[in-house]
């Protein structure tokens, strides 16, 4: 089971350090028995090797070791923090930062050459969802163009775009249908759900047979809330 907290553009270096300190204390006292990952903003990255229960990951990177990529962060910079896992394909980067499938595939291939763990995000917009399951399936498979689904450090997060940050999660039976379809093809790759996960819906979502965890934004911003979600997953 993977539980991942995506901070997006929230938290500072100071508040991230306090968050991780509290999270590690909580996990010391009650080990999660699952894979806990936290993705702070790049400016708040802390040395991943200093934390024993939590994996720290990068929300973004440029697919190069280093070079002339103004404003970007490459492998040399992430290595300095011992970062070994990354998010790729988040819908906010696809929509707001205009990351194309081609560029996303480039990032994926680069991350794989670095041996990083990847949470690869896919998800359909509302109009596609409204067109029915077949349309959703076609859209989601399109987001695997250029992606090596046999990469062994891959987890896939299904995040319907209309459910992200809206407080409206997808219906559990709809999540089940999509995750079952993905599992059929992706076999042993862990599958996460993301999109307005909270303490009320986490249990029913992670109980689904094809669900191996959750990628959580808003409900994980407060460390006490994230610990509560971990406690729910422990049950
Ligand atoms: C996300 O950031 O990937 C996400 C799912 O956010 P939220 O939980 O706030 O919907």
Strand ranges (E), the chain: 2-6, 35-39, 54-56, 85-88, 117-122, 154-158, 191-194, 213-216
**Residue range 188-206: average pLDDT?**
97
Residue 172, SS3 per DSSP? helix
Residue 134 falls in the annotated catalytic set: no
In this structure, the residue with its CA closest to atom 8 of ligand 1 is 217
CA of 68 to the centre of ligand 1 (A): 32
Residue 31 pLDDT > 80, yes or no?
A: no
**Residue range 166-182: average pLDDT?**
94
- Identify the pLDDT of residue 168: 87
CA of residue 231 relative to chain centroid, distance: 19
Strand ranges (E), 52-175: 54-56, 85-88, 117-122, 154-158
CA of 67 to the centre of ligand 1 (A): 31
CA of 217 to the centre of ligand 1 (A): 4
Mean of all residue pLDDT scores within the chain: 97
In this structure, the residue with its CA closest to atom 1 of ligand 1 is 217
- List of residues 6+ apart from 2 with CB closer than 8 A: 34, 35, 37, 119, 155, 190, 192, 212, 213, 214
- Identify the pLDDT of residue 43: 98
**Beta-carbon-side half-sphere exposure of residue 106 (alpha carbons within 13 Å):** 9
Of the residues 90, 117, 124, 143, which is catalytic?
Answer: 90
54: β partners? 36
Q: What is the third-level CATH fold of 2-234?
A: TIM Barrel (3.20.20)
DSSP label of 137? H
Residue 173 pLDDT > 80, yes or no?
A: yes
pLDDT digits (tens, 9 = 90+) for 57-106: 999 999 999 999 999 999 999 999 999 999 999 999 999 999 999 999 99
DSSP label of 162? G
- List of residues 6+ apart from 103 with CB closer than 8 A: none
Residue 32 pLDDT > 70, yes or no?
A: no
Is the beta carbon of 213 within 6 A of some atom in ligand 1? no
CA of 31 to the centre of ligand 1 (A): 24
- Mutate which of 6, 39, 41, 167 to test ligand 1's pocket (most atoms within 8 Å of Cβ)? 6
Residue 170 pLDDT > 90, yes or no?
A: no
Rounded distance between C-alpha atoms, residue 13 and residue 216, angstroms = 20
- List of residues 6+ apart from 42 with CB closer than 8 A: 58, 59, 60, 73
In this structure, the residue with its CA closest to atom 4 of ligand 1 is 217
- Mutate which of 156, 164, 205 to test ligand 1's pocket (most atoms within 8 Å of Cβ)? 164
Residue 11 falls in the annotated catalytic set: no
- Going by pLDDT thresholds of 50, 70 and 90, the confidence category of residue 140 is very high
- Identify the pLDDT of residue 33: 85
CA of 109 to the centre of ligand 1 (A): 24
Residue 169 pLDDT > 90, yes or no?
A: no
Measured from the Cα of 91, ligand 1's closest atom is: 3
């Amino acid at each position: 089971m993977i539980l991942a907290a995506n901070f997006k553009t929230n938290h500072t270096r100071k508040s991230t350090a306090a968050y991780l300190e509290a999270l590690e204390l909580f996990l010391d006292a009650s080990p999660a028995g699952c894979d806990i990952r936290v993705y702070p903003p790049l400016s708040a990255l802390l040395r991943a090797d200093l934390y024993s229960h939590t994996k720290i990951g990068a929300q973004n990177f440029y697919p190069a070791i280093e070079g002339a990529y103004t404003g970007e962060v490459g492998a040399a910079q992430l290595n300095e923090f011992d970062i070994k896992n990354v998010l790729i394909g988040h819908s906010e980067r696809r929509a707001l930062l205009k990351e194309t499938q081609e560029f996303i595939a480039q990032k994926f291939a680069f991350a794989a050459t670095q041996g990083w763990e990847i949470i690869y995000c896919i998800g359909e917009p509302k109009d596609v969802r409204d067109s029915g399951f077949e349309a959703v399936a076609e859209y989601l498979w399109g987001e695997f163009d250029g992606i090596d689904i046999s990469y062994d450090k891959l987890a896939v997060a299904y995040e319907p775009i209309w459910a992200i940050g809206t407080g409206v999660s997808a219906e559990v039976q709809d999540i089940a249908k999509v995750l079952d379809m993905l599992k059929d093809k992706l076999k042993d790759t862990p599958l996460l759900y993301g999109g307005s996960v909270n303490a009320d819906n986490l249990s029913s979502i992670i109980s689904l047979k094809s669900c191996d965890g959750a990628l959580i934004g808003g409900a994980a911003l407060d460390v006490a809330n994230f610990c509560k979600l971990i406690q729910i997953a422990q049950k």
